[in-house]
Every structure is written in C-alpha cells, then in structure tokens.
C-alpha cells in the first residue's frame, strides 16, 4: 500500500539510502581498523509525514505491517525497532521529534549481509533531517544510525555499514579509517564488476556470535596492552596470546594490512587475491564461515573470469561477494548457482554492481 492509502494523507518528505557490500576489511571496524565497502544499487525508501495523534505509526510495505508506538512504549520488536531507534537517538541528542507517520519500502535483501538495517536507519535519518531541518552532516547520520542499532537492535556493530550507506555510491569503493572516520572514494579495479550471491543460509546478527567475537578482540587488545587491535605494530606481538584470541587477532591484523594494500591502485587480479586471502582468514582464524559459504566461495574462485571471492559482512550465513570480469556477472552467477546445492540450500543472485537491480 502507498503512503496515502495507509495514512490517508500525503507525506511531507521522502528519502532513500542504499545497502552495502563489503569487499575487504571484515570485522575490522570495531577494532578501529580499515574497511573497503561499496554501496549496492538496491535502496530503502522512507516517506515521512505528521501523525494525527500522539503516537508514531510505522508501516512496512514488504511486511504489510503497521506498528503503532505510544509515547510510553518500550521494547519495540521487529523492523520498527530500527526507525524507532533513530527517533530515540535523535531525542537523546537533544532534538524534539513530533509524532510521525513513517512509510518504509526496500529492495535491499533482508538477512543476507547487505545491511538492510543500515539502509533503513540512514533512509529514516535522512528523511528526519530534511523534515525537521536538522543540522547534521552525513558522518553524524552514520554515527546516529550505529547508536540506534546498538541501543535498539542489540547488536554491538561497528560503523562500517552506516558509513557505507551514508557516504558510498555503487560506482566507487569507500576506503574508510574507522578510528578517525577519514574516507576516500576509490575507483573499482579496471575491467571488473561486483557480483553478490546469497548462500541461502539466513543469518541474524544479534543471534549470532558477533558480539562474542567483538568481546574476544577486546580481550586480545587488553592482553596486548593496546587500545584496539588496530594498534598492534607487528604480527609477532600476538605469539603469546592464548587461543582462540591469537587467531582472532591474526585475522584482524592481516585483514587491516589487506585493506591498506588494496587502497593502492592494483589490477583486478591482485585485488581478487586479497579477497581470497580474506575469506581463508575469516574461515580459519575468525571462524565465521559456514560449509555453505565455503562451498559457494570455492565454486566462484574456480570459475574463469572470477578474480576473487569471499563471504561478505559478518558471516555465519548470508552472502558472498566476488570481483568478476566486467559484463560477465550474470553468466557467472548462472554457472555457479547451477553447481551449488549443499544440503538442499538454494543460492540466488542478489547484486551485479553494473546493473540497476540484482
Ligand atoms: C556487520 C557489522 C559491521 C561489521 C561487519 C563485519 O555487518 O554491522 O559493523 O563489523 O559485520 O565486517
């Protein structure tokens, strides 16, 4: 249903924000390290108007569900927790937010590791910024989105997803230093496009071991006497850490080095090698892959015209990203998906960066 049909009034503003796919720098953001995501063509749209009563009303087109939130409500479950979290963090920052009608629609795949939640947060925050003329820049929006996710969805996420949704575009890679929030838009390697395939294994970040990995990294940093694993000067410094902290730290340190290497301009083939190494490290040292992701990544890596492939996002299910020869994404997806049938899982094509919709 359109906004008008749901709320019997027209919206005041409409805003959108993209999902993201990460090419390199997995689980480095909460270690204050470096990441290299890009925006995907799929977007979330938020339309916002004034509520006629003292409640917020939040409608999702895809779920065909409306959630009414009274001023005394606590513990909002499901999709509405994200836009509600955005309203609450703006209030905490000192902005008065009147009761609102919010209408959400999205083509970002949900639960596949493509940051549908960050897209929802940034679309909502952009809409609120324009509706209420809030003096917030794009980096501030990303910080607020991250706070909303941490406080209202219970995920101790880093800032990569919200920064990518707020600042990246599908034609560039976003190099981001997550400690200083310095960033730079870089071109894709020549002759390449990005392909994203879903493994068919759903993942939920809050229910996964994500928060546990974060705690392990913090424990490793404490034992090494550094503020964050980004500050470990030399991989030899981790030799005395107990397992699994030693492997967790090794992943983070080598992954940061891969992002910094990829920041230099390089061929698609060289970039692909770094992606392959990233996957091996996520699988063997960080323990966030699954047999299905490994099998899909292997099919991709063995396919001609694929430069490199890895799981993307947090892992524990979800999607794989590959760097492939420009113009070949669709044919490669077809060939790989026809070979991929682990335990009756069904993979699917999610994104080709050069096409408008996956
Ligand atoms: C999720 C989190 C990000 C990041 C990735 C792993 O997407 O939201 O902050 O930690 O996992 O790279």
* Ligand 1 pocket test target in 20, 21, 27, 31 with most atoms within 8 Å of CB: 27
With a pLDDT cut of 70, the percent of the chain lying above it is 97
User: Which has the closest alpha carbon to 313: 18, 23, 17?
Assistant: 23
Domain ranges of the chain: 3-186, 192-357
* Residue 233 Cα to ligand 1 middle (Å): 23
Residue ranges lining ligand 1, Cβ < 6 Å: 22, 26-27, 29-30, 157-158, 160-161, 313-314
For the residues 32-56, what does the mean pLDDT come to? 98
User: Can you identify the CATH homologous superfamily of domain 192-357?
Assistant: GHMP kinase, C-terminal domain (3.30.70.890)
With a pLDDT cut of 90, the percent of the chain lying above it is 87
Q: Please check whether residue 141 is in contact with residue 166, taking contact to mean a CB–CB distance below 8 angstroms.
A: yes
187-206 pLDDT per residue, tens: 999 999 999 999 998 876 55
For the residues 13-40, what does the mean pLDDT come to? 98
pLDDT-based confidence at residue 17 (cuts at 50, 70, 90): very high
Protein residue whose Cα sits closest to atom 11 of ligand 1: 314
What is residue 12's DSSP assignment?
S
pLDDT-based confidence at residue 345 (cuts at 50, 70, 90): confident
Q: pTM, whole model, 2 decimals?
A: 0.94
Nearest ligand 1 atom to alpha carbon 28:
12
pLDDT at 128 over 60: yes
* Residue 24 Cα to ligand 1 middle (Å): 11
pLDDT-based confidence at residue 49 (cuts at 50, 70, 90): very high
CA distance 286 to 214: 11
Average pLDDT, the chain: 94
pLDDT at 255 over 70: yes
For the residues 233-262, what does the mean pLDDT come to? 97
pLDDT at 357 over 60: no
pLDDT-based confidence at residue 208 (cuts at 50, 70, 90): low
* Residue 113 Cα to ligand 1 middle (Å): 9
User: Which has the closest alpha carbon to 13: 110, 143, 119, 100?
Assistant: 100
Protein residue whose Cα sits closest to atom 2 of ligand 1: 157
pLDDT-based confidence at residue 113 (cuts at 50, 70, 90): confident
Q: What share of the chain is helix, strand, coil (3-state, %, to 5)?
A: 40, 25, 35
Any catalytic annotation for residue 137? no
Could you please state the CATH topology (level 3) that the domain comprising 3-186 is classified under.
Answer: Ribosomal Protein S5; domain 2 (3.30.230)
For the residues 244-267, what does the mean pLDDT come to? 96
For the residues 250-262, what does the mean pLDDT come to? 98
Per annotation, catalytic residue among 161, 198, 285, 294: 161
* Residue 54 Cα to ligand 1 middle (Å): 35
Residue 302 dihedral angles phi and psi, to the nearest 5°: -90, 0
pLDDT at 209 over 50: yes
């Amino acid at each position: 249903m359109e906004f008008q049909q749901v709320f019997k009034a027209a919206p005041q503003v409409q805003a959108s924000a993209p999902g993201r796919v990460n090419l390199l720098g997995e689980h480095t953001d909460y270690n204050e390290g470096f990441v290299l995501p890009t925006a995907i063509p799929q977007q979330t749209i938020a339309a916002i108007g004034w509520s006629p009563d003292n409640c917020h009303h939040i409608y999702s087109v895809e779920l065909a569900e409306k959630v009414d939130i009274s001023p005394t409500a606590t513990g909002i479950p499901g999709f509405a927790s994200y836009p509600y979290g955005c309203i609450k963090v703006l209030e905490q920052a000192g902005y008065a937010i009147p009761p609102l009608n919010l209408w959400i629609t999205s083509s970002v795949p949900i639960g596949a590791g493509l940051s549908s939640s960050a897209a929802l947060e940034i679309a909502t925050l952009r809409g609120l910024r324009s509706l209420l003329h809030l003096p917030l820049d794009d980096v501030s929006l990303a910080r607020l989105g991250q706070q909303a996710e941490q406080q209202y969805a219970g995920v101790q996420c880093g800032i990569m997803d919200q920064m990518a949704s707020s600042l990246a575009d599908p034609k560039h890679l976003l190099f981001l230093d997550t400690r200083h929030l310095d960033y730079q838009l870089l071109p894709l390697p020549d002759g390449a496009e990005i392909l994203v395939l879903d493994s068919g294994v759903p993942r939920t970040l809050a229910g996964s071991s994500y928060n546990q990995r974060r705690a392990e990294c913090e424990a490793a940093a404490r034992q090494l006497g550094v503020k964050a694993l980004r500050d470990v000067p030399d991989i030899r410094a981790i030799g005395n850490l107990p397992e699994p902290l030693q492997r967790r730290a090794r992943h983070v340190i080598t992954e940061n080095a891969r992002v910094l290497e990829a920041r230099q301009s390089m061929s698609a083939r060289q970039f692909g090698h770094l992606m392959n190494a990233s996957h091996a490290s996520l699988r063997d040292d960080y323990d966030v892959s699954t047999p299905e992701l490994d099998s899909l990544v292997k099919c991709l890596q063995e396919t001609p015209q694929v430069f490199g492939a890895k799981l993307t996002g947090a892992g524990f299910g979800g999607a794989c990203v590959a760097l492939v020869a420009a113009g070949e994404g669709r044919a490669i997806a077809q060939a790989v998906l026809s070979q991929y049938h682990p335990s009756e899982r069904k993979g699917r094509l999610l994104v080709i960066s050069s096409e408008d919709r996956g």
